[in-house]
């Protein structure tokens, strides 16, 4: 399969910089897969799992929360507010993310409540899906 350049950056560090064959992205309008020569698109990210397909069938999975995805002729760049390798994601850490989201919901204005509730719901879905 043909590869393309992919970068995943968080405020803390560069988590991935290299060639990927496919990347599953949790966009706010739904998940989508980027392959080589994907049409240009820019979207925001929702809490979810980025699945990076590399050569020889290797997959790297990371939890992301917030940020943007930019697909262009140069490849894919994900700028994530939070990015954590799934194998480093503990029940305690995800519980902290859920607690933060609950606090955000409690502090939200009427205009912000729907988005805050969606964020909290997705984090709880992720916890259930990962069975942690």
Q: What is the pLDDT of residues 43-63, one digit of tens each?
A: 999 888 999 999 888 999 998
Question: CA-CA distances (angstroms) from residue 12 to 31, 81, 95, 101, 126?
Answer: 24, 9, 20, 20, 22
Provide the CATH topology of domain 4-86.
ATP Synthase; domain 1 (2.60.15)
Question: What's the pLDDT at 91?
Answer: 85
Q: How would residue 128 be classed by pLDDT, with cut points 50, 70 and 90? A: confident
Question: What's the pLDDT at 16?
Answer: 96
Average pLDDT, the chain: 91
Question: Does the pLDDT value for residue 25 go beyond 80?
Answer: yes
Which region holds residue 101: left if phi is over 0, alpha if psi is between -120 and 50, else beta?
alpha
Break the chain into its structural domains and give their ranges.
4-86, 90-130
Share of the chain above pLDDT 90, in %: 67
């Amino acid at each position: 399969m043909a590869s393309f350049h992919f970068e995943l950056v968080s405020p803390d560090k560069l988590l991935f910089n290299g060639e990927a064959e496919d990347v599953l992205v949790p966009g706010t309008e739904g998940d989508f897969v980027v392959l080589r020569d994907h049409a240009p698109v820019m979207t925001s990210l929702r809490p979810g799992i980025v699945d990076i397909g590399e050569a020889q069938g290797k997959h790297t999975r990371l939890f992301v929360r917030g940020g943007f995805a930019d697909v262009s002729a140069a490849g894919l760049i994900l700028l994530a507010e939070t990015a954590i390798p799934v194998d480093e994601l503990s029940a305690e850490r995800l519980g902290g993310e859920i607690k933060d989201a609950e606090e955000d919901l409690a502090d939200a204005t009427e205009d912000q409540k729907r988005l805050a509730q969606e964020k909290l719901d997705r984090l709880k879905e992720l916890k259930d899906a990962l069975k942690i």
